[in-house]
Structure formats: C-alpha cells, structure tokens
Structure 1
Amino acid sequence: MTAIPKEEYLLKCTSACAGCSSSLCLRYITKAAGPDTVLVVPACCTSVIQGMYPNTAMDIPVYNIAFAAAAACASGLSNAFRALRRETNVIVYAGDGGTVDIGIQALSGAFERGTDFLYICYDNEAYGNTGMQRSGATPLGARTTTTPGGKPTTKKDLDRIVEAHDPPYMATACSAYPLDLFKKVKKALSIRGPKFIHILAPCPPGWRYSAEKTIEMGKLAVKTGTWVLYEREYGNLTINGPSKAAIRKPAPLEDYIKGQGRFKGVTPAMLEQMRQQMQANITRLVREEEGIC
C-alpha cells in the first residue's frame, strides 16, 4: 500500500452511505489517475455522493451526464483533448444499471470506434441510487425491491460482451483489494485505446449486511470464486493472485451467501445452480489462461 500516493482527489464528507465500497474504489481510482483527469458520471450513486454544488467532494473535473450517454460523452471529450494534443485521462465511472442495461449501446459504440478512454463499471448488482431495483447485473436468487421473491434469472455476462469488442485491456477488480485495483487502473491508463475495468462493489443497504462488513464481503466473493480477479491484455488473460489461491482451494459458497439478507430464502436447487455457473466460469477462464480453446 505504500506505493499508493497520499494525494486525495475524493475529499472527505461525501454523501455516501456508511460502508460504501464504490466510494472507496473511486478514491483509489483517482489516486491512480492523478489530477489531469476528467470523470464522466452518468446517473448513479456517484451522482449523489459527490455532494451538491458548490460543495462537491471531488477535486477533479466531473461531467454529470444522462444515464445512457456516458460513453458517448467520453468519446467527444477524448477526441477533443487529443485534438488539442492533451493526454488528459478520460474515465467513465458508471454503475451496473448505466452499463449493463441503459448505457450498453453507447459503451459498445465507443469501443467499436476505438475511443481512447477508460470505462469503469462499479457493480453493486442493482439500481442502488433509486432504491435497489433489479438490474441485468443482479445475480440469480437475489432479492431486490422489484424481485422480492428472488431474481429468477442469471446475471448478464458483461465481461464477455466487452471481450467481444477485443479491447487492448480489460480487467476485473474488487473493492476489497485496493492495491490490485490501483495497479490495474495505472496499467489501463498507460495503454491507448478503449479500456474496461469491472469492479465488484458490495453495497450494505442493497445486499443487506452490516456496514462494517464491506471488505469482508468483497473478500468472500473472491475467496469463494464467485468473483474472479483477472486481466486481459491484448487478448492474453492472466488470473490474478487472490483468485489463483481461491481456485486451488475455494471457500464454501455458503459463506458468501449466508452473510447477505438479499439471498434469504434461496433454495438448495438455486444454490446448486449458482455453484454450477460459478464453476463453469472458473473453468472457462482457467482454460483460456492455459491456452486451451
């Protein structure tokens, strides 16, 4: 952690909930990016936690944009900066609702055009800013305000959608591993073209656990194999250290599930389906890393 700069670009007194892991992520992302950075933020929790003008908690420029338009806005900003011969970092910081669902067409377009920017999706697996409605990223069995009996369908595989665009760099991260996130943001910003980082960001009120357990919940996601940390650079995939250990000796999936009120009432059959999906994802990633098609 000594490698992380002491400068702060996300200041104290945000409007974030207690235990908010997405604001923790944003703190380390901005440290990695530095002051010559513009954030593009669509409608999401971050639109709120930055505070009300003129008392914003952000110490870098922020462009608040409509739900569906973040990546399109970033394309314009990036092209303008490059035309001025400026290397300003353009970073979209969007939730899963604004990425997996509402903003996916703009994301796809920006990647297809080869926009030089970094798109970061912080994924709390629901529409957190408006009361925790289900999103395309909500996992099987999770209770939200619009799936009170548990979501009957599986989580949309956003990473495979992005992978299909063949970006030069993409990665997964988790708020419980800030140094891993910091290094991935630094690497992404050193590469030209469209980059993507998908962060699992546990949410205390939405996932229904005590605020002091945010880091524990993120680590359990990784240790059980529910969330795999990896990076894919120019098509070459590397599974990162914490997940390598988890793949060799995973913690029981039940340890992750039982700590979250949103999974209350999950049936044994649904739990087994979740386990099979998790194992299929791990197997696919391991085979890719080993070069087995």
Structure 2
Amino acid sequence: MSKAAPKTYLASGHSGCAGCCDAFAAKFTLMGAGPNCIVVNPTGCLEVMTTPFPNSAWQVPWIHSLFENAGAVASGVEAALIALGKKNDTKVISIGGDGSTMDIGIRSLSGAFERGHDFTYVCMDNEAYMNTGIQRSSGTPFDASTTTSPPGKFSFGNPRPKKDMVAIMAAHGSPYVATTSIGYPRDMIRKVKKATEIVGPTYIHAHAPCTTGWGFDTSKTLEVAKLAVETCLWPMYEMENGEITQVRKVKDPKPVEDYLRVQKRFKHLFTMEGGEEEIKKIQAMADWNIKHYGLQ
C-alpha cells in the first residue's frame, strides 16, 4: 500500500496563471515543511496571487514582507518564537522570487545568514522580475530576452551569465544549501524537509519556469523544468558545510537546443544571424556544468 502524499497547505483558490510555477513551488515547499511553520513572503507574484484582500490561499501562518527585508523579517519571527519559548515547535520559512532574493533582498538575507538565524529560505527562480513586467534580474540566463534586455540588431538578449546564488549562500557558512526544480516534486519536497530539520540558516534554490515570462504553453511548465535538468543547464545538487555531498546524475544529456527551442524568450537565437554561435556558447555552459558538478 503506497504512502499517502503530504498535504499541500496551499488552497487552490488563488489567482495564479494556469501552470503557475510559483504555485508549484509553494505547494512543494509546504509539503516538505509540514503544518508547523510560519511563512515569510516578500512582494512578488506569489504574494499577489495568494492574498487578494480579503482572501488568502495560505493554510499556515503567513506574513508579507517588502522586497528588500525578507531576511530581516524571518530573523525577527525566529527571535520572537525563541522569546515565547515556541521555536522548537515551529519552523520559519521564507519564500521569494529571484528578484527579491538575488537582487533587492540579498543584503538582509546575507545578514540573517551571517548571524546564523535558524530558518530556511526558498528561492523560486523564474529568472526575471515577472510580477513587474518581465525585467532582467541577476537570475536571468545568458542570451534570454526580457523587457529590459531585448534582442535586436546589435543584441542577443541578456549579455551576462546567471549569478551563482547557491555558492554565495554556501560561502556564508550555511550547513545546508541545495538546488532543486519544480519539475521534480519528490526531490524538492525531500530537500525542503531536510533543510527545515537542520539547525541554522539553510537555503534551497528552486528552478521555476514561468509560462508567461518565458513564453511556453501553460500545460508545459513541468516539462520545461525537466528539460533544463536533462540538458544540464540546471544541475541539481546538495552542499553540506560547503562541500557537495549529492548530485543528480544525467545519464544521456539532451542538447540545449531542446530546451531553448520551446521558449519564446530564446526564439531569436533560431532566427537571427549569429544565433548558432550563441547556442554553442550556451551548450558550452551545459558542458561545463557536466564536468564541474560531475553530472555523468
């Protein structure tokens, strides 16, 4: 007899897009954390779609923070629980997008991790500022088109590689950091559960394809997420005390074209002169991941 799936603790009555990556990420996070948690959620799509006044889709205690201070608010929640003598019974989790995590909120998050606060931070990386108009973030991948890094006669889109946020958080001395993907629910649920059971500041970086911002059919969210892993553009691994301890192997990596071709944000690479050379550069990034993380 199969074991029953854990409860999601996020009600279906939200206003997210069909196939919304944030809804998947929030559900899997709560399935891993369980009901005894308090969620800190900075401004973003997840906050907007789950809490249209006077309603809320959250079935656990939830608090909204600003873009820039989720780390500070989570620290305060943890301190309050300690003062009340309730910290052992309650997990503190912050869930934010790549903009609020890697850009606007990195200062308060860095401070919270440096101070050693006991909470788990989950970054839902949809690789742009989706809530405010699909602008480039430091999580936007190389050559992707956004509204602030559009392709044109003299541009192939975003000229910079993604910021390695996982390495940054590991450098803070975090006892546990990991990458995961909404395309692999069991992996994400397991890693969130593990992170919340470890004492100290822990970090989960979850790949979260956005149907609206990336330009793919709403039924293909999980399929696109899996392609990122299968092409080795999104390595999945765990780090404990600064050392990589587990890696998800990719037996027969697919060419990056399989991933790029299904997204509108990379369409220009298949139509512009010079696009083939840009695709080769992206393939080289995937090949580097294979070697660096030992994906084969």
Shared fold by TM > 0.5?
yes
162 and 8 in structure 1: CA distance in 2 versus 1, 3 angstrom threshold:
closer
Q: Identify the residue that residue 281 of structure 2 maps to in structure 1.
A: 273
Say if 2:24 and 2:182, in contact at 8 Å, map to a contact too.
Answer: yes
Q: Secondary structure at the match of 1:121?
A: strand
- Determine the structure 2 residue equivalent to 1:76: 76
Name the residue aligned to 2:169: 162
Equivalent residues in 2 for 1:20-169, closer than 5 Å: 20-86=20-86, 87=88, 88-149=90-151, 150-169=157-176
Structure 1 residue 164: Cα displacement: 1.1
Q: Give the stretch that moved more between structures: 248-257 or 109-118.
A: 248-257
Report the counterpart of residue 256 of structure 2 in structure 1: 253
Q: Which moved more, 1:158-167 or 1:101-110?
A: 158-167
For the residues of structure 1 that align with 2:197 and 2:162, how far apart are their CA atoms? 31
Query: Does the 8 A contact of 2:230 with 2:253 survive in 1?
Result: yes
Kept in 1, the 8 Å contact 2:33–2:192? The answer is yes
RMSD value, Cα: 1.7
Correspondence for 2:292: 284
Question: Which amino acid in 2 is paired with 1:254?
Answer: E
Change (3 A) 1:160 1:8: closer
Code of the aligned partner of 2:73: C
Q: Which segment drifts farther, 272-281 or 108-117?
A: 272-281
Which amino acid in the other structure matches residue 280 of structure 1? W
Matches within 5 A, 1:183-202: 183-202=190-209
Aligned amino acid, residue 146 of structure 2: T
User: Percent same amino acid among aligned pairs?
Assistant: 44
Give the drift of 1:284.
2.1
- Measure, in 2, the Cα distance between the counterparts of 1:122 and 1:253: 22
Name the counterpart of 2:265: 262
2:131 is paired with a residue whose SS is helix
Aligned residues: 283
Residues in 2 aligned to 1:109 and 1:280: alpha-carbon distance in whole angstroms: 31
1:95-122 CA deviation, whole Å, 9 max, x = no partner? 0000111011111111100010000000
Note the residue ranges of structure 1 that are not aligned, 5 or more in a row.
none
Q: For the residues of structure 1 that align with 2:69 and 2:232, how far apart are their CA atoms?
A: 33
Please report the TM-score for the alignment, with normalisation by the length of structure 2.
0.91
Q: 1:25: how far off?
A: 1.7
- Partner Cα separation in structure 2 for residue 180 and residue 9 of structure 1: 18
Q: CA deviation at 1:4?
A: 5.8
**Aligned equivalents of 1:185, 1:159: Cα separation in 2:** 15
Q: List per-residue Cα deviations over 1:219-258 (Å, max 9, x = no partner).
A: 1001110101111123332344xx30x1x42011110010
Q: Deviations over 1:39-80 (max 9, x none)?
A: 111111111121323321111111111110000110111111
Q: For structure 2, list consecutive stretches of 5 or more residues without a partner in the other structure.
A: 152-156, 270-274
Equivalent pair of 1:45/1:129 in contact (CA under 8 Å): yes
Q: Stretches of 4+ moved more than 3 A in 1?
A: 2-6
Question: What secondary structure is seen at the aligned counterpart in 1 of 2:232?
Answer: coil
Q: Contact 2:256/2:286 (CA < 8 Å) preserved in 1?
A: no
